[in-house]
Amino acid sequence: MQPYHYPMLIKLIIFDLDGTLIDSVSDIANAVNYAVKPIGLDGQSDDAIRALLGGGISGLISCLVAENKACFLDEAVERFMDYYREHLLDYTLVYDGVEDALKELAPQSMGVISNKREELVKKILSELGLAPYFGQIYGSDSASDKKPSPAPILKMMGYFGVTPEETMIVGDGEADVGAGKAAGVTTVSVTYGYRTKEQLSGTDFYIDGIGELPALINRL
């Protein structure tokens, strides 16, 4: 492994969670199916749920709830949360190479911004042993708005005292690219997550594995 040389330009690396650091589709799908079954909706496959991820739980479930059942949305979200809190890590896995990449990048300033609620993000990262790598962790309820709004990125930049030119966001979805572009930061999209490369057009850089990130930053 080549030694990591800290660049002068990038001082803060922000990571998305689901589809970037972890594969959590099965646990989310199980919780969604638990939540919507009582209101008469069919269960969804992992692939169907994967295609809907990125906009937060309320947005995901609202995509499944028919117009004539919209009154049950809040109930379904509450059922999802009750189930998911107890089954966060039944099948969720850290992607290969993530911890090695984080070790190589440390002690670079790093944070996580997810559209999952902050309490869940922190619990997942803690129980998977990844939390110590991050100086700040935000969820969908940590700022005035969630991705693709730039609000959580701007808040995190303020926390670390860095400029957009010194900041990078690494994610797997359109919301990560959109938030990054709106905040004026460098965007890096992983191709192994929940979206295709074609869906992530407009990003500044692609990487096929998280282990490529240190070398990319060294080239900037």
Say if residue 152 is preceded by a cis peptide, omega within 30 of 0.
Answer: no
CATH assignment of the domain containing 32: 1.10.150
Number of domains, the chain: 2
**pLDDT tens track for 142-185:** 999 999 999 999 999 999 999 999 999 999 999 999 999 999 99
What per-residue confidence (pLDDT) applies to 70?
73
- Catalytic residue at 172? no
What per-residue confidence (pLDDT) applies to 67?
57
Strands (E), the chain: 12-15, 22-23, 93-94, 109-113, 136-138, 167-171, 186-190, 205-207
- Do 71 and 44 belong to one domain? yes
Count of positions (residues) in the chain: 220
Q: What is the mean pLDDT of the chain?
A: 92
Residue 4, pLDDT > 70, answer no
Q: What are phi and psi of 15, to 5 degrees?
A: -110, 140
- Do 125 and 156 belong to one domain? yes
- Do 74 and 113 belong to one domain? no
Give this prediction's pTM.
0.91
Quote the CA–CA distance of 157 and 208 in Å, as a whole number: 26
Quote the CA–CA distance of 149 and 169 in Å, as a whole number: 13
Residue 8, pLDDT > 80, answer no
What per-residue confidence (pLDDT) applies to 30?
96
Mean pLDDT along residues 29-42: 91
Quote the CA–CA distance of 34 and 204 in Å, as a whole number: 38
- Do 73 and 176 belong to one domain? no
Provide the residue range defining the domain that includes 58: 25-86
Residue 1, pLDDT > 50, answer no
Q: How do 109-113 and 167-171 pair as beta strands?
A: unpaired
Residue 3, pLDDT > 60, answer no
